[in-house]
Structure 1
Amino acid sequence: MAGVKFEQAMARLEAIVGELEKGDLPLDESLKIFEEGIRLSKNCLKVLEEAERKVEVLVQDKNGKKQLRAFSPDEDEGEEPPSL
């Protein structure tokens, strides 16, 4: 499951939710795909957390000191970023 791409995992999660919502599956099959969904969900969360860390950027503050801050799409390019 480690080789599953994020988009593929999300598509499979959507399919699992759809199957479970129908309620047509026997209990053992429902539990099996529910467990698969939990594994996929954890994998997706891990990928998202890694992506979030990559989005952090290095910037210089007024003193020339570098600090980490999270990327904000709302910031204008010339605007001073808020300090964390």
Structure 2
Amino acid sequence: MAEDLSQISAMSFEEALKALEDVVRRLEGGEVPLDESIALYERGEALRRHCQTRLDAAQERIEKIVAGPDGKPAGTAPFDAG
């Protein structure tokens, strides 16, 4: 599972969301054996956490947009997604 987590952390938001949708589709299909369902559920939770982290980082970046004197966005403040 550790190798899988490192692969997930390297995914873009869009890749992780697509993979999460695939997990959900397979689980909802009901044709997956119990052990595989558990593994899929764990992968789905890791993908969900990754997507949420990426969304939170994007929201923080958006919130750091610097407004110019006229109130319009004039740039962004430095952001470290770390």
TM above 0.5, one fold? yes
- Specify which of 15, 27, 32 is matched with residue 8 of structure 1: 15
Give the superposition deviation at 1:30: 0.3
Question: Equivalents in 2 of 1:15, 1:41: separation in Å?
Answer: 12
TM-score normalised by L of structure 2:
0.69
Structure 1 consecutive aligned stretches of length 4 or more whose deviation exceeds 6 Å:
none
Once superposed, what is the RMSD of the aligned Cα atoms? 1.5
**Counterpart of 1:58 in 2: which secondary structure?**
strand
- Specify which of 32, 35, 43 is matched with residue 42 of structure 2: 35
Q: Residue 59 of structure 1 aligns with which residue?
A: 67
Residue identity (%): 34
How many residues were matched structurally? 62
- List gaps (5 residues or longer) in structure 2: 1-7, 73-82
**Larger RCO, structure (CA 8 Å, separation 6 or more):** 2
Give the superposition deviation at 1:35: 0.3
Question: Equivalents in 2 of 1:4, 1:58: separation in Å?
Answer: 29
Give the superposition deviation at 1:42: 0.2
Task: Give yes or no for the alignment of 1:50 onto 2:57.
Answer: yes
Higher alpha-carbon Rg: 1
Which amino acid in structure 1 is aligned with residue 45 of structure 2? I
Give the superposition deviation at 1:53: 0.5
Give the superposition deviation at 1:2: 1.2
- List gaps (5 residues or longer) in structure 1: 62-76, 78-84
Structure with bigger helix share is: 2
